[in-house]
Amino acid sequence: MSKILFVLTGVDYWTLADGTRHPSGFWAEEVVAPYQRFTAEGHEIVVATPGGVVPTVDQGSLAPEVNGGQENADAVAAGLAAMTELQRPIRLEDVNLGDYAAVLYPGGHGPMEDLAVDAVSGRILVDALDSGLPLGVVCHGPAALLAATREDGANAFAGYQVAAFTNAEETQAGLAPKAKWLLETRLVEAGVEVQAAEPWAPHVVVDRNLVTGQNPASSAPLAAELLKKLA
């Protein structure tokens, strides 16, 4: 079957407004749920990070309270442990988009630290968008869209409808007052049309070849939409 590229953050923190580092990385469910959906259909997953560093899971994403209980948390942890691809990522700088049938950007606060300002990632996103390649971005993953600018400085995703982690969700999670900036606000400032739904409920938006999800609960539905495009 086809190869699908997972682009993950390469950092294990998110710098807050006061300069302190909030422990972070990628959000487990947003990697595990799509991985299980894609591999069940026979697709091969390749993980890429800036510099090819082994990505770090946000330990908070393994807690029972964010996974609907201990049983689900254990299942997510087990799914993560089974992903050997996470231990051998390729360098984002070495990605050849022509090798892949789709691209996925999971979230966690990590992308707000590195992918939001990563020119290599930005170029990959622009090329994926322009080529019509199915592109999935979920939760805080849309922070990476901020680096996807064209030669005139305009954001390549301006005018696109997207779902992304909302200001309301960041506020309810208790981190909005500590943040340097909020994802929904920055996306809107870049001309991206954020379609916000109820906090924490699954919400997926499809606009041309772009499929976006609002939060961790949107990960599996987003994967299902990407699979439709691959079919």
Rounded distance between C-alpha atoms, residue 13 and residue 108, angstroms: 10
Per-residue pLDDT at 1: 78
Helix (H, G, I), strand (E, B) or coil at 189: helix
| Helices and strands of the chain, counted as H and E runs | 7, 11
Per-residue pLDDT at 29: 98
Domain 3-230 fold is Rossmann fold (3.40.50)
Per-residue pLDDT at 184: 98
Q: What confidence tens digit (pLDDT) does each residue in 128-177 have?
A: 999 999 999 999 999 999 999 999 999 999 999 999 999 999 999 999 99
Rounded distance between C-alpha atoms, residue 45 and residue 80, angstroms: 13
DSSP state of 57: B
Per-residue pLDDT at 146: 98
Helix (H, G, I), strand (E, B) or coil at 112: helix
Q: What confidence tens digit (pLDDT) does each residue in 105-135 have?
A: 999 999 999 999 999 999 999 999 999 999 9
Helix (H, G, I), strand (E, B) or coil at 96: coil
Per-residue pLDDT at 172: 98
Q: Which helix (H) or strand (E) holds 77?
A: helix 70-81
Count of positions (residues) in the chain: 231
State residue 197 phi and psi, 5-degree precision: -115, -170
Per-residue pLDDT at 124: 98
Q: How buried is residue 7: exposed, middle or buried, by Cβ count under 10 Å (0-12/13-18/19+)?
A: buried
pLDDT of 182 higher than 90: yes
What is the average pLDDT across 175-198?
98
Asked if 41 contacts 229 with a C-beta cutoff of 8 angstroms, the reply is: no
Dihedral sign computed on CA atoms, order 147, 141, 134, 185 = negative
* 34, two tokens: 């799509």
Residue ranges per structural domain of the chain = 3-230
Question: What's the angle, vertex CA 80, arms to CA 75 and CA 81, rounded to 5?
Answer: 100
What is the average pLDDT across 190-209?
98
What is the average pLDDT across 13-26?
98
**pTM of the shown model:** 0.98
Asked if 129 contacts 211 with a C-beta cutoff of 8 angstroms, the reply is: no
Average pLDDT, whole number, for the chain?
Answer: 98
Per-residue pLDDT at 187: 98
Rounded distance between C-alpha atoms, residue 85 and residue 89, angstroms: 6
Per-residue pLDDT at 140: 98
